[in-house]
Amino acid sequence: MQLFRTISNRLHYFMAVPAILLFSLFFIFPLTQGVGISLTDSNGVTRPDFIGIQNFIDFFKDDRARTDVSNTVLFALGSAPLLNLFGFLYALVLDRTFKGKAIIRAIVYLPAVISPLIMGYVWYFILQPGRGFLFHLLQKVGLDGGNWLADAHSALIVLILVNVWQFVGMTMIIYLAGLQAIPKELYEACEIDGAGYGGKLRYVTVPMLVQSIKINVVTNMIGSLSVFEIIIALTDGGPGYSTESLSIYILRMLYGSFTGYSTAVAMILFVMIVIPVIVFMRIIRKQEFEM
Amino acid sequence: MKWTRNFWTYAIVSAMALLSLIPFYILLYLSLNTPSRTLFDGLLLLPEFHIQNYADAWQKSRIGSATLNSLIIAIGAVAAIILASSMAGYTIARYNNKLHSLVFNVLLICMMIPAIIITVPLYSLMKAIGGINTHWGMILLLASNGLPFSVFLYTSFVKGLPREVEESAIIDGCTPFSAFWRVTFHFLRPVTAAVVILQGLAVWNNYGQAVFFLQSQELRTIPLAVSMFFQQYGAQWNLMAAASVIGLTPAVIAFLLFQKYFVKGLTAGAVKG
């Protein structure tokens, strides 16, 4: 009885244990193992041999991998800034008071609720070359076109725009939450000092949104660098490998039983994500101190 | 002056709403067309209300059982996430020690790692514990993926909550552990709502893990069922569109039910923290 009481009195020190166990087993443990697997020629069937950094050397000689890296980076460079820009503008509009605000907010968020895979198929109906909704629509008004998915460059742009379209609501809601947390007095003080709309935006809104900016930039960087569902649904990486992302490459190498190589590519993708995120966090921390 | 300002606000927000809704309209339109009607005869964007598509798609895609699987996995994983991360967030925020700050920092770093990266070692782990093609395996796996962000939300929220919340219960004879469940947990409702929406949707829409760990047909979730259907019936757009509508409806309904709590929860958890 005494023991039971002692235990239950200390139980609160152990409340993180379920989370720690779960996360260690299903994330940390596989992650550390992954480092090992990336140094082998494992194919998932026969016994793997240690081959050092051979997989990483292969990666840099692999043309397809190089295309995928540039696709992934270009996609992220287009997608993350656009998402933040439009998310911020959307939030500014939806921060105003008008009737029906809640409904508009929900509608704008709606696409982000749906699986990117299914949403990708929906856009495929609209954009499929020679058959899609847009193709027919343009034909009706006497224009030839709407085959943007058939060309490598325009396909990448379409993928970026579809991604921005789908997740702008997600970015918006974080900015909106940040905007609503700004005390009104700050704006009033700013008005007394004679600032206009631009001044208020520059000296109150943006600095007060640092936390939202942090969350949005980081999640958008991670999300767009590891993109794959939307690409699978819209172009399946094609034409050729011209819109394939690194994540898709990782998945396909897995199916092709290049397990060791696939894991090595995964490690490279990890580094490609962590570096920009850390650099960004450094920059923004410096900004915060200066303010 | 005020009138024009209002006018422009409404013009802009209507454009925003339309932009978000038009693809859904096209989807509905396609899903109600007869198979024979090749697209858009005569631009009139009125469908033919061929409801039969839905019956066919429902039957052929087996999306009914996929919905059930998705529900089981989503409810299980979200429950596990809430249980594990609310407790962790509470104890990390309230009882500061080296272990807790280590755990918190590790989780923060792991938020940056997309789950796809650990697929290979995870596969051998899942095989070893017999978790492949099981509901529980998928539940635990997706729950652990959702932990970092949820713990982060709970921790920042509890930090903003005064200790008095549970102190009076402790004085009345509760242990700190039971005080959490009886009192503090109820104050965490806004975060819990945000976690339910964010993680619920992430689990519901998961494809990258499901495609590896749920290979048997009986265990397919909605995204898997729709993508399989697309590979088989991709040419029949009316059926495909109907299957997509069926697939996305549950998420839309759940979102509309919970969306009221959404901004509140995110403000409380993420943005102030």
Structural domain including B219 reads: 62-271
- Cβ atoms B212, B127 nearer than 8 A: no
Question: Residue B234 corresponds to which tokens in the numbers above?
Answer: 């991709």
**Portion 170-199 of A in contact with B at CB < 8 A:** 173-174, 176-178, 180-181
A192 to chain B nearest CA, in Å?
Answer: 22
* Contact status of A78 with chain B (Cβ, < 8 Å): no
Contacts of B251 in chain A (CB under 8 A): 113-115
Average pLDDT, chain B: 84
What does DSSP assign to residue A40? Answer: B
**Closest chain A residue to the Cα of B264, Cα to Cα:** A177
Q: Which residue has the tokens 């429950």?
A: B79
Could you tell me the pLDDT band of residue B273, with boundaries at 50, 70 and 90? very low
Considering only CB atoms, which chain A residues are within 8 Å of B32? none
Looking at the DSSP assignment, which residues form a beta bridge with residue A50?
A40
> Is B9's CB within 8 Å of A137's CB?
no
Q: Any idea which residue has 């993928």 for tokens?
A: A159
Query: Is residue B147, in this structure, part of any structural domain at all?
Result: yes
Least confident of A87-96, A154-163, B112-121: B112-121
Distance CA A210, CA A214 (A): 6
In the beta sheet, which residues pair with residue A40?
A: A50
> Which chain B residues touch A9 with a CB distance below 8 Å?
175-176
Q: Quick: pLDDT tens for B12-32.
A: 989 999 999 988 888 888 888
* Distance from chain centroid for Cα A14: 34
A146 has a chain B CB within 8 A of its CB: no
Mean pLDDT (whole number) for B204-233: 87
B111: pLDDT strictly greater than 70: yes
B35 lies in some domain: no
Contact A71, A272 (CB under 8 A): no
Three-class SS of residue B182? helix
Query: Region A172-185: what's the mean pLDDT?
Result: 86
At B271 the pLDDT is 60
**pLDDT surpassing 70 at residue B48:** no
Judged against a pLDDT cut of 90, whether residue B124 lies above it is answered with: no
Is B87's CB within 8 Å of A15's CB?
yes
Beta bridge partners of A149: none
Look up residue B121 and give its two tokens.
């070692």
User: CATH number of A51-290: 1.20.1050.10, 3.40.605.10, 3.30.460.10, 1.10.3720.10?
Assistant: 1.10.3720.10
Which residue bears the tokens 């939300």? B153
Instruction: Sort out which chain B residues have CB atoms less than 8 A from A94's CB and list them.
Output: 13
Q: Looking at the domain assignment, is residue B46 inside a domain?
A: no
Residue B39 has pLDDT above 60, yes or no: no
Please name the residue of chain A whose CA is at the shortest distance from the CA of residue B152: A215
Sign of the C-alpha dihedral computed for residues B31, B256, A211 and B100 taken in this order: negative
Q: Output Rg (C-alpha) for chain A, integer angstroms.
A: 24
The predicted structure's pLDDT at residue B226: 86
CB contact (8 A) between residue B116 and residue A98: no
Model confidence at A164, pLDDT cuts 50, 70, 90, reads very high
The answer to whether residue B122 neighbours chain A at the CB level (below 8 Å) is: yes
Determine phi and psi for A50, rounding to 5 degrees.
-75, 125
Please report which helix (H) or strand (E) contains residue A217, including its range. helix A210-225
Enumerate the domain spans of chain A.
51-290
Please report how many Cα atoms fall inside a 13 Å half-sphere around the Cα of residue A183, on the Cβ side: 4
DSSP codes, A162-205: HHHHHHHHHHHHHHHHHHHTS-HHHHHHHHHTT--HHHHIIIII
User: CB of B270 within 8 Å of any CB in chain A?
Assistant: yes
For residue A112, the number of C-alpha atoms closer than 13 Å in the C-beta half-sphere is 23
* Mutation site for B-interface testing, chosen from A29, A103, A117, A216 by largest number of B Cβ within 10 Å: A117
In sequence order, which residues have a C-beta less than 8 Å from that of residue A285 and are 6 or more positions away? none
Per-residue pLDDT of B251-265, as tens digits, reads 888 888 877 777 676
**B43: pLDDT strictly greater than 80:** no
pLDDT of residue A150: 79
Which among A162, A78, A172, A167 is positioned nearest to A122, based on CA atoms?
Answer: A162
Indicate the number of domains in chain B: 1
Question: Residue B20: which of A19, A107, A263 has the nearest Cβ?
Answer: A107
Q: What is the pLDDT of residues A246-282, one digit of tens each?
A: 989 888 888 777 888 888 898 899 889 989 988 998 8
Residue A50, classed as helix, strand or coil, is: strand
Quote the mean pLDDT of chain A: 85
Instruction: Please tell me the distance from the alpha carbon of residue B262 to that of residue B271, in angstroms, as a whole number.
Output: 13
Give the nearest chain A residue to B77 (CA atoms).
Answer: A22
Amino acid identity of residue B185, one-letter, is: F
Give residue A157's pLDDT. Answer: 92
> Is the Cβ of A208 closer than 8 Å to some Cβ of chain B?
no
Q: A-chain residues within 8 Å CB-CB of B111?
A: 222
pLDDT digits (tens, 9 = 90+) for B50-107: 777 787 778 777 888 888 999 999 999 999 999 999 999 999 988 888 888 898 889 8
Give the percent of chain B with pLDDT over 70. 90
Query: Would residue B47 count as lying in a domain?
Result: no
Is the omega angle on the peptide bond into residue A239 within 30 degrees of 0, that is, cis?
Answer: yes
Rounded CA gap, B124 and B160, in Å?
41
Q: Is the pLDDT of residue A291 over 70?
A: no
Q: Which residues, in sequence order, are CB contacts of B266 under 8 Å at separation 6+?
A: A173, A174, A177, B194
Span B241-258, mean pLDDT?
A: 85
Task: Please report the pLDDT score of residue B51 as a whole number.
Answer: 76
